[in-house]
Amino acid sequence: MTYKQLLLDIKNNQLKNVYLFFGEETFLIDFCVDEIKEKYISPTLETLNFINIDARESRVSDIVNASETLPFMADKKIVIVNEPSFFKSQGKSEDLEELINYIEKPSKTTSLIFILKTESIDKRKKIVKKIKENKGLIEFSKIKGIDLNKWIIKQFKNENKNIKEKEINDFIDISGYLDQNSDKTLYDLKNEIIKVSNYLGDRNNVEIKDIEDVLIKSLHSNIFALVDSIGEMDYSKALSIFNRMSLNNEPHQLIIHMIIRQIRLLYMAKLLQQKGYSIKNISKKMKIRDFVTRKLISQGNNFDIKELRNGLNECLITDKNIKTGKIDSGIAIELLIMNFRNNR
């Protein structure tokens, strides 16, 4: 079940009796809880009918007792249980039979909502399976594609600003929201949107320069710019970007990893392009978005296949030399940047 279905259930007054909300997108979790609260809880009776329980400081019996207590002068009671570790693989060990028995026959006047703001739950556990059987298992992952674009447009409109698709793509890219291993949430994006909107002042339309001026470039964006500079043979600029990342305390091992990743993506996109694949088919095969594919193809025009292959090999050798302690990581990456000259 997705958060969209949950919002529909709230709208149609069909809230289920037991849920487990989990996932990295804390903004959406908080948003859905607020929607539930607004729909079902009167502000004057909130302290009686909207119960927050910290699972780290409570027992299973406390959760069951709170859930079985009838709402006061209302049709619905909401019980929120925060950070229950017993859904995790390495969660605390305790007797959950009382809670499982409740989940099998929950109070019809209570919605019991477990909230675990993490990706790691053990779906093999009996308690998780019971909640899933009743369609109460909801994962809050990062939103992507058209959903993310619509959300960004809406947030800018809330600030009385307009943003177009090309600028949206650059905003997402520079923000680093969808970067691999990024821990950014929609809360972070919202803060960036507010910053850009404030920067615009009386202007209504967001331009790429505004985004670049305001947002701190993500590691992914800096790597793209670094490789772009190498492709243009502007090695002083490439070294300047690397030095800036170093001053920002980006780990050298992560930087070399991201350079390898970018060169590999360029190499793959170049090969598929030469085989006659369209942008859409390249995106599908590489499991990336179309606008990323277009950027890769554009950047790849600065290299031929041999240069990318040799450059990738040079990257892997550099990575090995750093890991085995044969050379200082900073010097190694600087030499790697300069050695692309020899591959042209």
> Over the stretch 272-312, which tens digit does the pLDDT of each residue have?
999 999 999 998 899 887 878 888 999 899 888 999 999 99
Query: Residue 90 — left, alpha, or beta (φ > 0 → left; ψ -120 to 50 → alpha)?
Result: alpha
pLDDT of residue 179: 76
What pLDDT score was predicted for residue 66? 95
Query: How many whole angstroms separate alpha carbon 170 and alpha carbon 291?
Result: 10
| Pairing verdict, β 18-22 and 137-139 | parallel
Enter the pTM of the model: 0.73
CA atoms of 109 and 313, how far apart (whole Å): 63
* Distance (Å, whole) CA 47 – CA 37: 12
Q: What integer pLDDT is reported at residue 232 of this predicted model?
A: 85
Q: Is the dihedral of CA 20, 22, 28, 30 positive or negative?
A: positive
Give me the pLDDT at residue 90, please: 64
The pLDDT of residue 180 is 66
pLDDT of residue 343: 53
**How confident is the model at residue 61, as a pLDDT?**
93
What residue ranges define each of the domains in the chain, with the CATH number in brackets? Answer: 3-139 (3.40.50.300), 145-214 (1.10.8.60), 219-343 (1.20.272.10)
Residues of the chain with pLDDT under 50: none
Give the closest residue to 303 by CA, choosing from 290, 291, 293, 312.
312
Residue ranges of E strands in the chain: 18-22, 50-54, 77-82, 110-116, 137-139
Edge-to-edge strand list for the sheet holding 50-54: 50-54, 77-82, 110-116, 18-22, 137-139
Please give the pLDDT value at position 341: 56
Dihedrals phi, psi of 206, to nearest 5 degrees: -80, 130
Q: Would you tell me how many other CB atoms lie within 10 Å of the CB of residue 268? A: 17
pLDDT value of residue 178: 86
